[in-house]
Structure 1
Amino acid sequence: MAPISLALKGEQYANELWRYKNAQGPERQHFRMGLAAVLWRFLTAHETCISSSCAVPRFGTVTTVPSTSGRTDHPLRAMAASMVGPTRDRYQDLLTPAPDAAALGRTVSPARYTSVGLWGDNILLIDDTWTTGNHAQSASAALKAAGAGSVAILVLGRHLNTSYGDTAAHVEQARLRHFSWDTCALRSWTHG
């Protein structure tokens, strides 16, 4: 799993990840365009880092984690399928939520989703927010059960609540590093 950024509860990026799905009208489009630009920029700089980390030459197929809440027009799917250049031509709808997917709660289960048959394809699986990881991990397990080769999970935001456990200390350490698009979560050096 590779996060593009931390999404701290109550702060700007977490707010944008909520609003791109839940705002209305031009405001919703504003947030979708912004997040699409973040995804595009990150993939341009770091998709090869992810594939290298997975020991594969590239990801031939890109898909997204579908909603289990009944949302049929998930904006992340629209972003990856049509708005983001590096994913547009490789995007495929591979996963379908099981009828009882929502009832699984916070359990990781390959039964949460079904996947079309895959024959060793390397998949880049994109999700918007990683909180517990149960949806993305369940989707990854379903893809592997359907015959995928490597599956890498890329999330737009790793959701953190600083009032939980020792999260605040980890966040303070993260704040000491200066942001740069050339800094990768998978490589310990700057590149670009």
Structure 2
Amino acid sequence: MVPISLALKREQYANELWRYKNAQGPQQQYFRMGLAAVLWRFLAAHEACISASCAVPHFDTVTTVPSTSGRSAHPLRDMAAEIVGPTRARYRDLLTAAPEAATLGRAVSPARYTSAGLWGDNILLIDDTWTTGNHAQSASAALKAAGAGCVAIVVLGRHLNVDYGDTASHVEQARLRRFSWDVCVLRRGAHG
């Protein structure tokens, strides 16, 4: 699992990750386009790092974690399938939420999703927010059960609550590092 950024509770990025699904009208489009730009820029710079870390030459297919809240069309799916250049041509709708998906709670469960059949394809699985990880991990398990080769997960935001445990000290350490699109968490430094 590779997070693009931390999404701290009650702060700007966490707010944007909520608004891209829940705002209305032009405001919703504004947040969707902003997050699509973040995903595009990140994948253009770091997808090769992710595939190298997974010891695969590339990801054959891109898919997203579907909603379990009853949302018929998920904006993340639209972003990956229609807007983001590095994912558009490889996007496939592979996963379907099971009817009981919303009742499965916080446990990882391969029964949360079903997947179309795969024959060794390496999959780049995209999710918007990682809080407990149960949805993305359940989706990954369903893809593996359907025959996927490698499954790598990229999330737009790793949701954190600084009031929980020792999270505040981890966040403080992260804030000491200067941000750059060229710095890769998997390579432990800048490209070049």
TM-score (norm 1): 0.99
Structure 2 residue 67 is matched with structure 1 residue 67? yes
Query: Unpaired segments of 5 or more residues in structure 2?
Result: none
Q: Match for 2:35: what amino acid?
A: L
Measured after TM superposition, the shift of residue 186 of structure 1 is: 1.1
Give the corresponding residue for 1:152.
152
Give the corresponding residue for 2:120.
120
Q: How does 1:1-192 map to 2 (within 5 A)?
A: 1-191=1-191
RMSD value, Cα: 0.5
Structure 2 CA distance for aligned equivalents of residues 53 and 147 of structure 1: 21
Runs of 4+ in 1 over 4 A off after TM superposition: none
Instruction: Report if aligned partners of 1:123, 1:150 keep a CA contact under 8 Å in 2.
Output: yes
Measured after TM superposition, the shift of residue 5 of structure 1 is: 0.3
Instruction: Report if aligned partners of 1:3, 1:185 keep a CA contact under 8 Å in 2.
Output: no
Measured after TM superposition, the shift of residue 158 of structure 1 is: 0.2
Structure 2 CA distance for aligned equivalents of residues 144 and 73 of structure 1: 24
Structure 2 CA distance for aligned equivalents of residues 95 and 67 of structure 1: 10
Q: What CA deviation, in whole Å up to 9, does each residue of 1:1-56 have, x standing for no partner? A: 00000000011000000000000000000000000000000000000000001000
Structure 2 CA distance for aligned equivalents of residues 169 and 80 of structure 1: 34
Measured after TM superposition, the shift of residue 89 of structure 1 is: 0.2
Number of residue pairs matched by the alignment: 192
Measured after TM superposition, the shift of residue 185 of structure 1 is: 1.7
Structure 2 CA distance for aligned equivalents of residues 98 and 119 of structure 1: 22
Query: Unpaired segments of 5 or more residues in structure 1?
Result: none
Structure 1 CA distance for aligned equivalents of residues 178 and 10 of structure 2: 21
Q: Identical aligned pairs, as a percentage?
A: 83
TM-score (norm 2): 0.99
Q: Match for 2:28: what amino acid?
A: R
Instruction: Report if aligned partners of 1:113, 1:142 keep a CA contact under 8 Å in 2.
Output: yes
